[in-house]
Amino acid sequence: MELVTSEPFATQSNSDLLSRREAAVPRGVASAAPVFAAHAENAEVWDVEGNRYIDFVGGIAVLNTGHRHPRVIAAAMEQEAHFTHTSFQVVQYEGYVALAERLNALAPGDVARKTLLVTTGAEAVENAVKIARAATGRPGVIAFTGAYHGRTLMTLGMTGKVSPYKKDVGPFPADIFRAPFPSVRDGITVADALKGLENLFLTDAQPDRVAAIIIEPVLGEGGYVPVPAEMLIALREICDKHGILLIADEIQSGFARTGKWFAIEHSGVVPDLITVAKSMAGGYPLAGVIGRAEIMDAMAPGGLGGTYGGNPVACAAALAAIDVIEEENLLERSTLLGERLRAQFSEMGARLCPNRMWDIRGLGAMLAVEFVTDFESATPDAGLAKAIIAHALKRGLILLGCGMHGNAIRIMVPITAPDAIVAEGMAMFEAALADAMAELAK
């Protein structure tokens, strides 16, 4: 299970390119793996030196349909043969409209919807807040502890983690409030979280001045923690009571990652607005806001948009990626893949690191494993998680951590990955875990 090497793809080595990167790219842009990609197919990546890796990160949950899915690439190339850009706000094109229609139909709830297309997840969240404020005439936004909504100043205000995202770049916009997230680790029940929200209404956030409550149905950077259905149901009732809009941030959890088109579907709750990005376009930069038609129409003409928003090539790719999810039954495969991985992690943890793999959680194939020093204290062990990631890379498996304490490893392997590739990757994970535990024993 050592790193597989083939003929190199480029004349420069990883170390040469790292030196150039250090001179040209700011240090604030961190990279998890010190390697440079040259080629990728489905769930495999080859670097410039010809080393092969199995990809359990998928560009941070962007590649649910895998690297370079033939249908996605063909659709993008066909569009490129016609035109690559006009700006939808200048000369319109059918792809934008067709994708909006498709997303409106996929969103949960039997209501009329409209969709805005933009370029990045943070841009989608910013626009969701703008739309909510315009629709309600209110300024306030409530987000939750551990949330991640982006790295622009507005979205950083909603993001619930200081380091590395918010460090040294405040102050952040006003009228953003933080509510507690229900957490087994922190002993916060759903009842506790709802009581905290009630207290927030009493102390800081006047309910009739709150435009929206935004929540990730599964925390992303915060540790892949699903929101209990009862919490989402209660939030829907609270929003309806106070005239507040409910925004589901599905940027990381959408498009089959959890076994549903959108993770919030597991609860049966219908949000007012949904932010989407990542796996929507099979690797092409595209994001959007899907919402109830009357809410989406709150902004005046010219109030929404962006030069590159809804790029025609990305729209074509997205339509193809949605076809792939439907025709290759990726919702069902995500559920089955998640069940299989959960069972394997459970057995692996009990055998190789008793009392260290504290939690295996998530929905569908959106899973995380969390490591602690011992079950009794449940003290986060970021060192062990980092050691596993490092040993995995040496063996040819790309992994990425998450969580407020950096002690969880998230699984974002393409849902299209063949069973044999997933099994090979899990064998590498097991070997890396054994390596890390052996290191601890020294």
> Could you read off the pLDDT of 242-285 as tens digits, one per residue?
999 999 999 999 999 999 999 999 999 999 999 999 999 999 99
**Above 80 in pLDDT, residue 129?**
yes
In a domain, residue 67? The reply is no
| Domain edge (last residue) among 279, 302, 327 | 327
The enclosing domain of 33 has a CATH number of: 3.90.1150.10
Q: Are 82 and 139 part of one and the same domain?
A: yes
When pLDDT is cut at 50, 70 and 90, the band that residue 358 belongs to is very high
Asked whether residue 115 falls in the same domain as residue 162, the answer is yes
Q: How far apart are CA 275 and CA 283, in angstroms?
A: 17
Domain membership of residue 162 (yes or no) is yes
CATH of the domain at 252: 3.40.640.10
pLDDT at 149 over 70: yes
Average of pLDDT values for 20-37?
A: 95
pLDDT for res 414: 98
- Domain carrying residue 417: 4-61+329-441
Percent of the chain with pLDDT over 70: 98
> Based on the number of CB atoms within 10 Å of its own CB, is 395 exposed (0-12), middle (13-18) or buried (19 or more)?
buried
Q: What amino acid is encoded at 437 in this protein?
A: M
CA distance 116 to 136: 18
Claim to verify: residue 323 and residue 178 sit in the same structural domain: yes
Q: Answer yes or no: do 320 and 355 share one domain.
A: no
Phi, psi of 233 (to 5 degrees): -60, -45
Number of domains in the chain: 2
Instruction: Tell whether omega for the bond before 418 is within 30 degrees of 0, i.e. cis.
Output: no
Show which of 327, 347, 371 is a domain's final residue: 327
396 part of a folded domain: yes
**Whole-angstrom Cα distance, residue 411 to residue 405?**
17
Q: Say yes or no: 119 and 256 in one domain.
A: yes
Asked whether residue 163 is assigned to any structural domain, the reply reads yes
Do residues 181 and 221 share a domain?
yes
Q: How many CB atoms lie within 10 A of CB 382?
A: 14
Residue 203 vs residues 177, 193, 196, 212, 321: alpha-carbon distances, Å: 11, 15, 10, 17, 46
For residues 267, 268, 271, 277, the Cα torsion angle rounded to the nearest 10 degrees is 70
Q: Which of 57-71, 83-97, 152-166 has the lowest mean pLDDT?
A: 152-166
Q: Are residues 189 and 156 in the same domain?
A: yes
Instruction: Check whether residue 137 and residue 229 sit in a common domain.
Output: yes
Residues 308 and 375 in one domain: no
pLDDT greater than 50 at residue 405: yes
CA dist., res. 241 & res. 194, Å (int): 14
Which of 153-167, 193-207, 222-236, 313-327 shows the lowest mean pLDDT across its residues? Answer: 153-167
Residue 98 falls inside a structural domain? yes
Residue 285 lies in a domain: yes
> Is pLDDT of 360 > 80?
yes
Residue 66 lies in a domain: no
Residues 26 and 125 in one domain: no
User: Where does a domain end: 288, 309, 327?
Assistant: 327
Annotate 124-153 with b (16+ C-beta within 10 A) or e (fewer): bbbbbbbbbbbbbebebbbbbbbbbbbbee
Q: Assess whether pLDDT exceeds 80 at residue 2.
A: no
Q: Are strands 366-371 and 408-411 parallel, antiparallel or unpaired?
A: antiparallel
**Who's near 441: CB < 8 A, 6+ residues apart?**
none
Same domain for 423 and 381: yes
pLDDT band at residue 8 under the 50/70/90 scheme: low
Residue 217 reports pLDDT greater than 80: yes
d(CA 320, CA 71) in angstroms, rounded, equals 6
pLDDT-derived band at 440 (thresholds 50, 70, 90) equals confident
Contacting residues for 120 by C-beta, under 8 A, at least 6 apart: 150, 277, 285, 287
- Together in a domain, 291 and 337: no
Q: Is the pLDDT of residue 1 over 50?
A: no
Q: Residue 10 has what pLDDT?
A: 61
Q: For the CA atoms of the chain, what is the radius of gyration?
A: 22
In 230-330, the DSSP E strands lie at 245-249, 273-276, 287-292
Is residue 202 included in any domain, yes or no? yes
